Amino acid sequence: MDQNIDIVEAKSKSKESHLSKVLGPMHIWALGVGIVLVGQFMGWNFTIAKGGSLGSIIACWAIGILYISLIMINTEMGSVIPEAGGQYAMAKYLLGPLAAFNIGLMLVFEYVMLEAADALVVGEILKTLHPDVQALPYIILSLLALTYLNYRGVHATLNLNIVLTGIAFITIFVLLFSTKFYSPTESILNLSGLTNGLPYGWMGVLGAFQFGCWFYLGIEGTVLAAEECRSTGRSLPVGAIVGLITLIVGATTTWFVCSGLVHSTNLAESVYPLYDAALATKMPFVIHALFLGTLLACLASANGCIADASRAWYSLSRDTLIPGVFAVVHPKYKTPYRAILFLLPISIAFGFTGLLDQVITFSILSALLVYILTGYMMFKFRKMYPMGSIERGYIAPWHPLPAILVLVLASATLVGMYFGYWINLVSGFIFYLLASLWFTLHRSKFMDVGTFISAGASAWPRPKGY
């Protein structure tokens, strides 16, 4: 009886609910860069602890190649998927229910954990104002305000992200130019004296890949907003590619200026490396600018994470893979408001564990598993839908090279995680294994296959050979 009620409820909600098509390329840029930019204000510097200063910049560029390739294949598949959910929606049509469930869950935890890391950094940097500052009320108030903004509509949410992200990105260059890097005689940068090279050799570089992801982690979430783009074939490619260029420039600048101002020993342990670099300049304006930039980057990231995680959770519910109660769109604001509200306390709870590197590690692990499955899906997508069989808004060049690079570099990063975080690695795999068992043995009984594939089945032609 409960099973029938659940299926009927999901079908009726699916028919009634739809997300507003209001986003353009700039909003996609703000979503992707807004989520990721915080990784240049914190977290990336753990690459120095794993691989040294030189290992850090090598990891930055190598992982940049991973994300360039990922954006290529994501954008090709994402430009034709008929609904929200990003890689989850791709898995629906390419891999089936179990894989789709896992990818949806991985996406949720990737962004929920990233939002938790944002909350941690906000708390730590507010404590620098005064030892008696109680950060908790400010963090909860900020997340509540961002949640309310997401509740009211994605257009206003990402308009705010354009402003927050733009200001935060500019502060990185305020710091850069304050060092007078362009004048060898006046520059206060000291790369030769503060960096430590490659102390652990190439194995250290491999270990640094894990936190090298933090420079870019979340940019792939742009495809989660595919259903809300006015022109998916234009907005996704332009927003994602320009966003990735922005991040590569910002990441290299961040490494350069931080490594020249803060000793590698201190930089490797910092909670807010760009702010520590600003403190090293002893310039009040620069210090205040980076304090503001760090806060705004965290808020922009949390804002985007709320949007992406809720879309993934909403998509799982709409397709009956989890209870249909979260598949409701607000009748006025056209947002998945129940999913938005449900995930907020989970993120806050993880944020106040106080374990920044552990929270980051679980977010990265979830993302890497999605990347590996996405690389595999690209091969299957090209086989099921050869060139000319379906209209693409963007075509990934040099196939299959981008998919191969994604598989190789993501797998190498997982191997690198073993050094120092093998317990997290094993725990993550066990968690997703148990989730798979729960879905297979219990939840799959309540899944309605018609609802699962009906949302976009008519938008795609019959696959070749099926």
pLDDT value for 226: 67
Contacts 24+ apart (CB under 8 A), 392-396: 392/76, 392/79, 392/80, 392/233, 393/75, 393/79, 393/80, 393/231, 393/232, 393/233, 393/234, 393/236, 393/237, 394/75, 394/76, 394/79, 394/233, 394/236, 394/237, 395/76, 396/72, 396/73, 396/75, 396/76
Q: Are 170 and 163 in contact (CB under 8 A)?
A: no
Lowest mean pLDDT among 66-70, 92-96, 173-177, 248-252: 92-96
Bridge partners, 229 (sequence order): 23
d(CA 286, CA 347): 31
Q: What is the mean pLDDT of residues 182-202?
A: 92
Of 254 and 115, the structure prediction assigns the larger pLDDT to 254
d(CA 11, CA 71): 33
pLDDT value for 253: 95
Spatial CA neighbour of 106 closest among 394, 369, 409, 425: 369
d(CA 105, CA 117): 18
Q: Domain 2-17+27-452: what homologous superfamily?
A: Amino acid/polyamine transporter I (1.20.1740.10)
Lowest mean pLDDT among 137-151, 217-231, 248-262, 288-302: 217-231
pLDDT value for 375: 96
> Count of residues for the chain?
466
pLDDT band for position 15 (50/70/90)? very low
Q: Are 116 and 394 in contact (CB under 8 A)?
A: no
6, pLDDT greater than 60: no
d(CA 366, CA 369): 5
466, pLDDT greater than 70: no
E-assigned strand segments in 299-433? none
Spatial CA neighbour of 116 closest among 247, 273, 306, 296: 306
How far, in Å, are 70, 102, 119, 317, 431 from residue 85 at the CA level? 16, 13, 25, 11, 22
- Percent of the chain surpassing pLDDT 70: 90
pLDDT value for 366: 93
pLDDT value for 12: 45
355, pLDDT greater than 80: no
Of 445 and 405, the structure prediction assigns the larger pLDDT to 405
Spatial CA neighbour of 54 closest among 212, 162, 286: 212
d(CA 18, CA 349): 30
Spatial CA neighbour of 219 closest among 30, 417, 416: 30
1, pLDDT greater than 50: no
pLDDT band for position 361 (50/70/90)? confident
5, pLDDT greater than 50: no
pLDDT value for 16: 46
pLDDT value for 9: 46
pTM of the predicted model as reported, rounded to 2 decimal places: 0.86
Of 352 and 303, the structure prediction assigns the larger pLDDT to 303
pLDDT band for position 81 (50/70/90)? confident
Q: Are 343 and 119 in contact (CB under 8 A)?
A: no
Provide the residue ranges of all domains of the chain, joining segments of one domain with +. 2-17+27-452
pLDDT value for 92: 86
Q: What is the mean pLDDT of residues 58-83?
A: 88
Tens of pLDDT, residue by residue over 207-238, are 999 999 989 988 887 776 767 777 766 777 78
d(CA 252, CA 262): 16
d(CA 6, CA 325): 9
465, pLDDT greater than 50: yes
pLDDT value for 380: 92
Q: Are 57 and 257 in contact (CB under 8 A)?
A: no
pLDDT value for 235: 75
Lowest mean pLDDT among 26-30, 239-243, 330-334: 26-30
pLDDT value for 114: 85
Bridge partners, 23 (sequence order): 229
Q: Provide the mean pLDDT of the chain.
A: 85
Q: What is the mean pLDDT of residues 37-44?
A: 88
Task: Please provide the DSSP assignment of 162-210 as one string.
Answer: HHHHHHHHHHHHHHHHHTTTT-TTT----HHHH----TTHHHHHHHHHH
Residue 233's Cβ-count burial label (10 Å; 0-12, 13-18, 19+) is: middle
2, pLDDT greater than 80: no
d(CA 432, CA 436): 6
